[in-house]
C-alpha cells in the first residue's frame, strides 16, 4: 500500500479523467494543477522509535525480525487513509508508532499485550490499515509510547464447515485472500466495501463494516457467527449457536470495539455458495425522493436484491461524466443500480419482483452501461480521491443513517452544514450523495464532498466536519453508518449513546483493559 | 391467567383427548387419572408480605391502590409457568414476593427502583408472567425482601411511523393487544411464540424470544430497533439508526438482560404490512435427517418461508394421534409444516422456490390437514401440559440450538441424557423433538418430554434437567435457544460464556445496578 495514498501504486495514475477535470473546473472555478509531492524518506517523525529495552522485551515475545522500528514501517503504520490523514502525512511531519510488532500466533498477541501492560505501552491494533476515522492514530494516551500491532501474520482460513456454511479465519486475513480461499470450495463471503482490496476480516468486525452487497448478505455484523478476542485480562471465545437466548449476546460488544477492548484474533463467518446467476440492472427516477421511496418499497417488500443503491442528481451527473456522457450529465434525474444473484430461478424471480416494485414506484429501466460502470469502478473511488489531492483538490466522504421517514430531513441537514461550513471557509464545493445500504426501517446516506479548501487541508476541514457531526446529531442520524468512530467521532459518540451508555462502555473497557493500553482515544474520549 | 396453570381458565378443560390418553397408556404403562387439586386460598406462602413502612414508601411512588399485598396478587406473581413452577405451586407451600407494585409511568418505574435501592428491596420485573426458566422466582438475594414489578399499566402503542415501519410500544403491552393495535393501521409484528396469548413485548425483549414465524420475520432480537431501559443508576435510550457503526451496539446488551440490569419500559419494533396472501403446506420426509437436510437447503438458498418446521417421527405420530389418525401415527416418517406469506405474487414465487428445494431433497407433499392442525393448536401445548399435570403426568419442554453439522450429535446427546436421567429415576418416558427455528448456519431443537415421574415432580425433574444441561454444554449446544436463562440455567450460562464472558456480564451489572437489587439470581449465579 502507498504511504501517502490509497492502495496499489500501479493503479494510482495521477491522471484526472477528462470529464472530471471539466466538472472540477466548473465547480471550483479554476483548473486543478498537480501539487508538489514529497518522498517517504522526507517525512519527519515527531515521535521517537521505541527504546532498546522495550524492543528487546517485544522481540522476546514475537521474534526480533517481527519488531520493526525502521522509518518505512513506522510511516506506513502512522495512521489510516482518510483525506485529513493523507494531507497530514504529505505535510512532511507526522507522529508514528514507536515500533511495529507482528505476532504470528494468538499466544503471541496475548504476550505482546502482557508486555505492553507491564512496560506502559499503548497498543494500536492494525489490520489492513484502511481506517478513515482516526482509529489508527498512534496515540499513546497516558503511556510512554504507542506500538502498532500488525496482524498480517495471523492470516488464513483455519476451518470451513461446508454443511453449516461457516468459515473460520484468522483476523489478519485480507478480504481478497478470504474470497479466494472460499472460492476454491465453491463458497463466497460476499462482503465488498470500498476498502475490499486491502482491508482485513478482523478490521471489518472491529469497525462494524458494511459492504456494497449488504442488501443481500447483510452488514458484516450479520455475517459474524463467532469471535475470539484477546484482551489484556483474558481471551474470550464468543458465538456458540446460530440463535440463542443465553443472556445478552456478548459477541455484539466486540463488533464495533475498534481495538479499544482487545484484539480480535479469529472471526467465524457465515458464507454462502457462489451464486450461479447474476443480473445487473439500472433504473432512473425523476428525483431523489421518488427513488428513495422506490428503494424503501423494495426492502420493505423483501424482494431480495443483493445490491440496491441510488445516486442523487449530482452524483448521477458525475457518474455520467466519468463514462463520457457529458450531455446526459446535464439532464436531471437519479440513477439506481440493482444486482440480483442466487440460484438461477430464484435470482430471476427476485429480479422480476424488484423490477415490478421499482417500476410501480416510477422507475424506468436505464442503460446497463451505468450499472456496469458502477460495478467496474466500485473500488476506485479512493484512487480518484488521491489524484484530486495530488492536484490540490480536497475530496472526502462521510456517511450516516436514519429511518426512512427522517431520511430527507437528515440529508438536508448534512448538505446545509457542509454548505455553511465550507462557505465560512470561503471554499466552493460540490456535494454528491447516495443511498447504498437499505434496511426495512431506514437507510444510509453517503456523501462525497469536493471542495476548494486551501492551505492546511486537515485543519481547514476539521471545523466543517464538526459542523456536519453536530448537524447529524441534531437531525437524529447516527455518527457513522460504517466508517466507525475512531478518534475523529469519539466526542459525538458520547452524545449518541447518552451519559449512561457512555458510562457502560467505559465500564466494559475498564473491566477488560484496566490499564487502558488498548487504542487510547478511540471510541471513548478521555475524561 | 390461572394461578396454577397456563393461561385462560376457559380453555383449560381438564380433559385429555382420546388419542393422547391411548398413547400415554402405551408409553407409561398405566391409564392416567385425575389428581387431587388445591384452591388458591389453600396455598401457604413461606415469605411474609412487605412491612407497612415499605408499603407506604412504594405507595408514595405509584399510588396506594397500585401496591398489592393481598394473597391472590402475591400467589399470581410467585413465579413463572414451567412445569416445576406449577408443580411447586400445586404443592401448597410457595415463596412469593412481599408485594406487587404496578407503576403507571416510566418515571414511576424509576422511583420504585430508587425506593427499592434505598430500602434494600430486590425487584423482580414481571411482564406477562409466562417465563419458564425461573426468572420470576421471588428471590430477595441479600436483600430484606423481593417485590414484583408488574408492568401491565405501562402498556399501549405510543407511536407508529408507517413510512419507516416502526412502532413504539410501552413494554407491558401484551402481544395480542399489540397485534390488534397494529392491525388497525394495516401492520403486523408477526411474533408468535407459544406464549403469544399472554406474554408482553418487554418480556420478549428481556428474554430474547423467538416466535414461530422466525424464518420469515426473524427472532424478536431482529425486530427490536430501539429500547428504553430504566436502571437503578439511570435511564438509557438506545437504538438510534437502522444500521450503524457507532461503536458496539449497546441495545443488544439489554436483549436477554432478563431484568438483571434494569427494567425495559419501551420497545421500538420493526413492523410490516399485513400479508396479502398466505399458503400453508405440509410435506413428509422418510426420516428426521433427510427432513433436516431439506430445511437446511431452504434456509441456505433463502427462498423465504415465513414458517418452516420439522417434527421427528415421535412428534409426528402424536400430531397424527391428536387429529385422530391413529393408523397413520404408527407409520414411520416426519412431517414438515411450511407457511409462505407476502404480497400475492411474491408469496407464490417464494412457495414455488421452497417447494422445489424440499422436493429435490426428498420431501413429498402431505395432507394440508396436518399443517392446519398445527396452526390451529399452536398456542395450546401448555393447556395440554396442565391437563397432563392434573392427571399426575409430568410433561415439560426444553430447547437448544447448534450448527447444522452438529445438529444430530446434539439431538442424540440430549435424547440420551433424558433417557439415562429418567431411567435413573425409574420413569418410563417419551421424547418428541422438532426443529422450529432455522438459520443459514444452524437450527434449534425443541424437545417435549412426557415422563412417568412420581412424588415431588419438581425435585424429581431437577437432576434429569441438570444432566441434559451438562450434555448440551458437552455437545456444543446453547443452554437456551429462546426460553432464556433465568435462575434455572444460570449455572450453565457461566460455562457457555466462559470465565471472562461471565466476568464482563458481572461488570455490566455492577455498573448499572451496584446495589444488586435487580432480579437476584437471574443470569448470574451468586459468587
What's the confidence (pLDDT) of residue A32? 78
Tell me the backbone φ, ψ of residue A287, rounded to 5 degrees: -155, 175
Q: May I ask the CATH class of domain A157-273?
A: alpha beta
User: Nearest Cα to A137, choosing from A485, A466, A428?
Assistant: A485
Residue B295 and residue B337 in contact, taking contact as beta carbons nearer than 8 Å: no
Tell me the backbone φ, ψ of residue B42, rounded to 5 degrees: -80, -10
Q: May I ask the CATH class of domain A277-376?
A: alpha beta
Burial of B194 (0-12, 13-18, 19+ CB in 10 A): buried
CATH 3.30.465.10 residue window(s) in chain A: 157-273
Which tens digits make up the pLDDT trace of B39-65?
A: 999 999 999 999 999 999 999 999 999
- In percent, the amount of chain A with pLDDT more than 90 equals 83
Residue B397 touches chain A, beta carbons under 8 Å: no
Interface-testing mutation among A353, A441, A509, A510, with chain B (most B C-beta atoms within 10 A): A441
Q: Which residues pair with B399 in a beta bridge?
A: B446
Q: What is the number of other CB atoms lying within 10 angstroms of the CB of residue A346? A: 25
Indicate if the pLDDT at residue A35 is higher than 80: no
Per DSSP, A48 falls in state P
Indicate if the pLDDT at residue A300 is higher than 60: yes
Q: pLDDT category, A326, cuts 50, 70, 90? A: low
Q: What SS3 state is found at B187? A: strand
User: Nearest Cα to B129, choosing from B163, B172, B67?
Assistant: B172
Interface-testing mutation among A222, A242, A493, with chain B (most B C-beta atoms within 10 A): A242
Per DSSP, A405 falls in state G
Helix axes B288-301, B407-424, angle to 10 degrees: 140
Per DSSP, A256 falls in state T
Nearest C-alpha in B relative to A410 = B241
Residues of A in contact with B439 (CB under 8 A): 242-243
| CA B270 to chain CA mean position, Å | 20
Which tens digits make up the pLDDT trace of A85-96?
A: 999 988 889 999
Residue A291 and residue A336 in contact, taking contact as beta carbons nearer than 8 Å: yes
Q: Once rounded to an integer, what is the mean pLDDT over residues A258-274?
A: 98
Nearest C-alpha in A relative to B247 = A256
Q: Do B342 and A302 touch (CB under 8 A)?
A: yes
What's the confidence (pLDDT) of residue A36? 79
Residues of B in contact with A474 (CB under 8 A): none
Q: Which residues pair with A401 in a beta bridge?
A: A444
Interface-testing mutation among B187, B231, B242, with chain A (most A C-beta atoms within 10 A): B242
Q: Which residues pair with A311 in a beta bridge?
A: A335, A434
Residue A483 touches chain B, beta carbons under 8 Å: yes
Cα–Cα dist A26/A20, whole Å: 10
What's the confidence (pLDDT) of residue B22? 77
Q: How is A447-504 classified by DSSP, letter by letter?
A: EEEEE---SSHHHHHHHHHHHHHHHHHHTT--S-SSS--TTTSHHHHHHHHHHHHHHH
Rg from Cα positions in chain B: 23
Per DSSP, A261 falls in state S
Helix, strand, coil tally for chain B in percent (to 5): 40, 20, 40
Residue B156 and residue B165 in contact, taking contact as beta carbons nearer than 8 Å: no
Q: Do A481 and B234 touch (CB under 8 A)?
A: no
Interface-testing mutation among B214, B244, B267, B489, with chain A (most A C-beta atoms within 10 A): B244
What's the confidence (pLDDT) of residue A329? 53
Tell me the backbone φ, ψ of residue B316, rounded to 5 degrees: -60, -45
Which tens digits make up the pLDDT trace of B91-123?
A: 889 999 999 999 999 999 999 999 999 999 999
CATH 3.30.70.3450 residue window(s) in chain B: 277-362
Q: Do A444 and B405 touch (CB under 8 A)?
A: no
Tell me the backbone φ, ψ of residue B507, rounded to 5 degrees: -65, -40
Cα–Cα dist A79/A522, whole Å: 13
Residue B404 touches chain A, beta carbons under 8 Å: yes
User: Nearest Cα to A123, choosing from A180, A54, A191?
Assistant: A54
Q: Which residue shows C-alpha cell 403507571? A: B104
Q: What is the dihedral of CA B200, B205, B208, B214, to 10 degrees?
A: 70
Which tens digits make up the pLDDT trace of A63-117?
A: 999 999 999 999 999 999 999 999 998 888 999 999 999 999 999 999 999 999 9
Q: Do B302 and A443 touch (CB under 8 A)?
A: no
Q: Give the nearest partner residue to B244 out of A233, A405, A478, using CB atoms.
A: A478
Whether this model's pTM surpasses 0.90: yes
Residue B113 and residue B263 in contact, taking contact as beta carbons nearer than 8 Å: yes
CATH 3.30.43.10 residue window(s) in chain B: 9-150
CATH 3.30.70.3450 residue window(s) in chain A: 277-376
Give just the sign of the alpha carbon dihedral A258, A262, A266, A270. Answer: negative
Residue A481 touches chain B, beta carbons under 8 Å: yes
Q: Give the nearest partner residue to B441 out of A165, A244, A510, using CB atoms.
A: A165
Q: How is A272-339 classified by DSSP, letter by letter?
A: EEPPSEEEEEEEEESSHHHHHHHHHHHHHHT---SEEEEE-HHHHHHHHHHTT-HHHHTS--EEEEEE
What's the confidence (pLDDT) of residue B488? 97
Q: pLDDT category, A323, cuts 50, 70, 90? A: low
Tell me the backbone φ, ψ of residue B244, rounded to 5 degrees: -160, 150
Cα–Cα dist B464/B421, whole Å: 5
Which tens digits make up the pLDDT trace of A374-385?
A: 898 888 888 889
Give CATH for domain B9-150.
3.30.43.10
Q: How is A136-172 classified by DSSP, letter by letter?
A: T----TTSSEEEEEE-TTS-SEEEEETTTTEEEEETT
Q: Do A441 and B166 touch (CB under 8 A)?
A: yes
Cα–Cα dist A518/A523, whole Å: 11
User: Nearest Cα to B305, choosing from B271, B349, B354?
Assistant: B354
Q: How many CB pairs under 8 A join A and B?
A: 290
B277-362, CATH topology level = Alpha-Beta Plaits (3.30.70)
Cα–Cα dist A414/A375, whole Å: 27
Q: Give the nearest partner residue to B250 out of A352, A401, A504, using CB atoms.
A: A504
Residue A241 touches chain B, beta carbons under 8 Å: yes
Q: What SS3 state is found at B106? A: helix
Cα–Cα dist A289/B214, whole Å: 32
CATH 3.30.300.330 residue window(s) in chain B: 381-474
Q: What is the number of alpha carbons within 13 Å of residue A245 lying toward its C-beta?
A: 30
| CA B70 to chain CA mean position, Å | 28
Q: A204-213, A428-437, B316-325: which range is least confident on average?
A: B316-325
Q: Do A165 and B345 touch (CB under 8 A)?
A: no
B381-474, CATH topology level = GMP Synthetase; Chain A, domain 3 (3.30.300)
Cell of B302: 433463502
What's the confidence (pLDDT) of residue A34? 80
All residue ranges of chain B with pLDDT < 50 are: none
What's the confidence (pLDDT) of residue A31? 80
Residues of B in contact with A485 (CB under 8 A): 245-247
Q: What is the SS3 assignment for B18-84? A: HHHHHHHHHHHCCCCCCCCCCCHHHCEECCCCCCHHHHHHHHHHHCHHHEECCHHHHHHCCCCCCHH
Q: Give the nearest partner residue to B246 out of A243, A443, A479, using CB atoms.
A: A479
Amino acid at each position: 500500500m502507498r504511504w501517502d495514498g490509497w492502495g496499489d501504486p500501479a493503479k494510482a495514475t495521477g491522471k484526472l479523467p477528462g470529464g472530471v477535470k471539466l466538472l472540477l473546473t466548473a465547480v471550483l472555478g479554476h483548473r486543478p494543477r498537480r501539487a508538489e509531492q514529497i518522498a517517504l524518506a522526507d517525512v519527519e517523525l515527531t515521535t521517537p522509535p521505541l527504546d532498546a529495552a522495550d524492543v528487546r522485551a517485544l522481540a522476546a515475545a514475537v521474534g526480533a525480525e517481527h519488531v520493526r522500528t525502521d522509518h518505512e514501517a513506522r510511516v506506513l503504520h502512522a495512521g489510516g487513509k482518510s483525506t485529513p490523514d493523507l494531507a497530514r502525512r504529505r505535510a512532511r511531519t507526522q507522529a508514528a508508532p514507536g515500533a511495529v510488532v507482528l505476532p504470528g500466533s494468538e499466544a503471541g498477541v496475548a504476550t505482546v499485550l502482557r508486555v505492553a501492560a507491564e512496560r506502559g505501552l499503548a497498543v494500536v491494533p492494525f489490520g489492513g490499515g484502511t481506517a478513515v476515522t482516526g482509529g489508527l492514530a498512534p496515540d499513546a494516551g497516558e503511556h510512554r509510547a504507542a506500538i502498532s500491532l500488525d496482524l498480517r501474520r495471523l492470516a488464513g482460513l483455519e476451518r470451513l464447515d461446508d454443511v453449516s456454511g461457516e468459515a473460520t479465519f484468522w483476523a489478519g486475513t485480507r478480504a481478497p485472500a478470504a474470497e479466494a480461499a472460499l472460492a476454491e470450495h465453491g463458497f463466497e463471503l460476499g462482503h465488498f466495501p470500498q476498502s475490499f482490496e486491502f482491508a482485513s476480516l478482523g478490521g471489518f468486525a472491529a469497525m462494524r463494516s458494511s459492504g456494497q452487497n449488504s442488501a443481500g448478505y447483510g452488514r458484516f455484523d450479520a455475517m459474524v457467527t463467532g469471535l475470539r478476542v484477546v484482551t489484556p485480562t483474558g481471551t474470550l471465545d464468543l458465538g456458540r449457536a446460530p440463535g440463542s437466548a443465553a443472556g445478552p449476546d456478548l459477541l455484539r460488544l466486540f463488533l464495533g470495539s475498534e481495538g479499544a477492548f482487545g484484539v480480535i484474533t479469529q472471526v467465524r463467518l457465515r458464507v454462502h455458495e457462489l451464486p450461479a446467476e447474476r443480473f445487473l440492472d439500472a433504473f432512473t427516477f425523476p428525483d431523489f425522493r421518488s427513488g428513495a421511496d422506490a428503494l424503501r418499497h423494495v426492502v420493505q417488500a423483501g424482494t431480495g436484491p443483493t445490491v440496491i443503491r441510488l445516486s442523487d442528481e449530482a452524483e448521477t451527473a458525475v457518474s455520467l461524466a466519468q463514462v463520457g456522457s457529458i450531455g446526459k450529465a446535464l439532464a436531471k434525474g437519479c440513477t439506481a443500480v440493482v444486482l440480483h444473484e442466487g440460484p438461477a430461478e430464484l435470482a430471476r424471480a427476485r429480479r422480476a419482483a424488484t423490477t415490478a416494485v421499482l417500476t410501480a414506484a416510477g422507475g424506468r429501466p436505464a442503460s446497463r452501461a451505468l450499472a456496469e460502470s458502477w460495478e467496474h469502478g466500485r473500488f476506485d473511488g479512493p484512487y480518484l480521491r488521491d489524484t484530486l489531492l495530488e492536484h490540490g483538490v480536497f475530496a472526502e466522504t462521510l456517511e450516516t443513517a436514519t429511518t426512512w421517514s427522517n431520511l430527507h430531513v437528515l440529508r438536508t441537514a448534512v448538505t446545509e452544514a457542509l454548505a455553511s461550513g465550507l462557505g465560512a471557509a470561503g471554499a466552493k464545493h460540490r456535494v454528491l450523495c447516495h443511498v447504498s445500504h437499505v434496511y426495512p426501517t431506514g437507510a444510509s446516506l453517503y456523501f462525497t464532498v469536493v471542495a476548494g479548501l486551501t492551505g492546511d487541508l486537515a485543519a481547514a476541514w476539521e471545523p466543517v466536519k464538526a459542523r456536519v457531526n453536530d448537524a447529524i446529531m441534531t437531525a437524529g442520524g447516527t455518527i457513522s453508518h460504517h466508517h466507525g468512530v475512531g478518534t475523529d467521532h469519539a466526542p459525538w459518540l458520547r452524545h449518541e449513546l447518552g451519559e449512561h451508555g457512555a458510562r457502560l462502555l467505559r465500564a466494559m473497557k475498564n473491566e477488560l483493559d484496566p490499564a487502558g493500553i488498548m487504542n487510547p482515544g478511540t471510541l471513548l474520549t478521555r475524561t
